[in-house]
Amino acid sequence: MPLPEAPVANALDIPRLFARQQARSEVLRREPAEARAARLRRLGQWMTANRAAIQQALYADFRKPAEETDVTEIWAAQTELRHTLKHLRQWMRPRRVGTPLALLGTTSWVQVESKGVCLIIAPWNYPFYLAVDPLISALAAGNCCIIKPSEMTPQVSALLARMAREVFDPAEVAVVEGDREVATELLSLPFNHTFFTGSPQVGKVVMRAAAEHLTSVTLELGGKSPVIVDETADLRDAAEKIVWGKSINAGQTCVAPDYVLVHERVQAALIGEIRAVVQRFYNADGRGVAASDSFARIVNGHHFQRLAGLLEDAQRQGAVVELGGSVDQSQCFIEPTVLSQVAPDSRLMQEEIFGPLLPVLSFGSLMQAADFVNQRPRPLALYVFSRSTAQQQYLLEHIPAGGACVNETILHLGHPELPFGGVGNSGLGKTHGRYGFLQFSNEKAVLRQRVGRTALKAFYPPYTPQVRKLIDWLLRYL
């Protein structure tokens, strides 16, 4: 049963809320680690107590299976929270740095401090996790936060608003619901940091708005993340991991495999293995993928029409449907679909797919595969399937990407010790673990000198010939 709709925040209240958080942020800035940890523990306890409500909200918004919600929304957030609690004191501790000979007598360190009031604009595809994950980093760093959930997932949006009311003082954490106008109102305010997850197109809008206030930004965007399968790969293993990575959340994942480049000698065999895996995962009982309880739906009619249009355009340009291809607008359902002979200039190969459509193209050499990827904007993720260490290394060295997996898909996103983020068109800034903590922190450089002493006193004016000689010596030897 859907959760009751929460009232949309009045944009006129937003400046007042922002002012309250500005005042409160000065208190949070000076809090010890234990106070921050207590706030995080309350958040973790709420997630545990409301597991069923989170599952229910995700199912109501786009029929996401409870098992996927547990793994990709709740477990992922809890993993980040537990890792943060374990390391928070260490991250907050000032970090001593060495002293160069020219500054002998000084002591220096890097001291982290909160940025202040932060804006988190969450997307619709993982609407709970991608709101809570950056919130964990922001709270660990000692900030106040306003979260703007996506209006495309209203049940999760309402749940997040309830979570904020039940766990936090609104002067510390608040959820503001609403549409594009509310987002525009929020972006007009001088936040100290903005964390946005979404498309590159909207990311540019966010960055332009942030520039008006010189607000720092983290942009978690997307792009066309390639899979490269060479002739040495274990095709059954590769097929299972590609299908899982592409089909979880019905392909609506920023790091989902967007297209496959496979060595021409094994293309047909790989497609055969993918066909078998889809049947095993989503049609084991023979009733069809649409009847499976393990496959989500497209979030709304607009995105369904976009994906159906991509499929139609590819077929008009000669693409062959190797498996799948069924669509049902009444359910916002699109079957896992593999296409071959896809035209490189088709919309399917030019736009981020963000759905269960998988183009499979062939290559003859690793250089050809790398060149194909590098002719396009840099991807958020790169997936390499190969038994050859040399060929793995070649692709990792020759293809810039935000992150990469070898003989796996997506799992790097769940590793709290790895930085997650894009490069160029796929994003700006890194998150997760200490990297996320630092995104919401200012690393203040501190140098302490002894009173009445300075190593550079000999270089003070007036600039006599003797001073110039000392400067020449400094440049040459120090």
**Per the residue annotation, which of 220, 322, 335, 352 is the catalytic one?**
220
Angle at 332 between CA 361 and CA 243, to 5 degrees: 35
Contact 167, 46 (CB under 8 A): yes
Residues recorded for the chain: 478
Angle at 183 between CA 152 and CA 431, to 5 degrees: 80
**Which of 160, 138, 147 minimizes the C-alpha distance to 84?**
138
144 catalytic? Reply is no
First to last CA, the chain: 71
Q: Is 232 helix (H, G, I), strand (E, B) or coil?
A: coil
Q: What is the spatial distance between Cα 339 and Cα 377, in angstroms, rounded to a whole number?
A: 22
The DSSP H or E segment spanning 391 is helix 389-398
254 catalytic? Reply is yes
**Per the residue annotation, which of 118, 144, 254, 405 is the catalytic one?**
254
The DSSP H or E segment spanning 49 is helix 33-49
Token digits of residue 21 = 């958080």
Identify the burial level of 369 via C-beta atoms within 10 angstroms of its C-beta, where 0-12 means exposed, 13-18 middle and 19 or more buried: buried
**Which of 331, 329, 378, 353 minimizes the C-alpha distance to 339?**
353
DSSP character for 257?
-
Just list the catalytic residues.
220, 254
